[in-house]
Structure 1
Amino acid sequence: MSDNDSQSTPQNAEKDPQDWTTGDEPVTGPQLSYLQTLAREAGREVPEGLTKAKASELIDELQQKTGRGA
């Protein structure tokens, strides 16, 4: 076993969207597309002017509502 094994950081560690350095940037195309799908399934509207961070939070919320969340 190498020293790296005992000091490794989880590859899938999640960071709060509010702490993202790019969180204030506009929502990405893939985020918006997925949000539109989730919102349609949940009977919701996608707000305009979303940031990456807000879109991520809304995705998490809608995944829970639609049962698509992990």
Structure 2
Amino acid sequence: FEFPGVKKAYAIQAGRELRVIVESEKVSDDRAASLSFEISQKIQTDMTYPGQVKVTVIRETRAVNIAK
């Protein structure tokens, strides 16, 4: 599947969890929440899997300075 603003996605814990990393300048906090819902709905309707799949969207902003 392809969703705008998604940089990388990883399936972990034997496919029971999906971690999606988004571009913070393109995806807002509110959009990240709705994106996790959209992805989980897409998985639910288009795929067959046992149990549950947890979808986590990670939107990260870093500010780094060095004191000398």
TM-score (normalizing by structure 1):
0.31
Identify, as 1 or 2, the structure richer in helix. 1
Identify, as 1 or 2, the structure richer in strand. 2
* Higher Rg: 1
TM-score (normalizing by structure 2):
0.32
